[in-house]
Amino acid sequence: MSDERVLLQRDGDVATLTINREQALNALDRETLEALSDVLTRLAGDLPLAAVITGAGKRAFVAGADIAAMREMSVQEATDFARLGQGVFAAIEQLACPVIAAVNGFALGGGTELALACDFIYASDRARFGQPEVKLGIIPGFGGTQRLSRRVGPGMARELIYSGRMIDAAEALRIGLANRVVPAAELLDAVASTAREIAAVGPGAVAASKRVILAGADLSLAEAIELEARAFGECFAWNDQREGMAAFLDKREPKFTRS
């Protein structure tokens, strides 16, 4: 329905989630975050092999949290709102399939934070990123102070957060925030192509890779590579491992079955 705040479409093994508040530049209020949470719960129960998150229209991915909705919040209400956004974005980060952000326009504040919760970012050449919260007298509240540092390094994250500066897609690519920048008209095709490429390989191996990367980020190197070794070994209990290696040796395309 056109009034749904988050649209979900499936194309084979690829799911696309669209934040659908074009008239509000897809700003995130409580209702939109709750709708996104509901869609993520549905996806987790019927998991695609790859997912894409984008924004409705041509102007914005997500222009930020809804300032009108935040203006009169109490301290407790603001804390609860931050925790809601953090929980929803953690669900994206922990979804057992890769999630690609297709940033088609402004991704400011909560929009940059939403993109950062995805596995990686493809951006339109019209995209703009930033954490401008300090200009409103607040700080990022949906994970930006932590995920931006992990993505682009603490020095660059501090500069962007302290200044509230907005950067263009070329700069986002240069600092490692975006993986790829393409002309606006080609963005969804480029993202879909990569999503299909991911969906064609061993799904258990992709999910295990994501799990180890996430878990290893909070461990020492020695602990993380031990986690990797255990996960590597577990792959050899799967039918997909036997099929993948047999197909390679037989010089044919593998037929993976998620088992």
User: Which residues have a catalytic role annotated?
Assistant: 113, 133
Interatomic CA distance for residues 74 and 71, integer angstroms: 9
In the numeric block, the tokens 């258990």 are attached to 204
Interatomic CA distance for residues 167 and 169, integer angstroms: 7
- Burial class of residue 57, CB neighbours in 10 A (0-12, 13-18, 19+): middle
In the numeric block, the tokens 């491992």 are attached to 241
Q: Give the closest residue to 241 by CA, choosing from 194, 205, 213, 214.
A: 205
Q: Give the closest residue to 19 by CA, choosing from 48, 40, 50.
A: 40
CA 239 to chain centre: 29
Interatomic CA distance for residues 186 and 115, integer angstroms: 19
- Burial class of residue 48, CB neighbours in 10 A (0-12, 13-18, 19+): buried
The torsion region of residue 136 among left (phi > 0), alpha (psi -120 to 50) and beta comes to: alpha
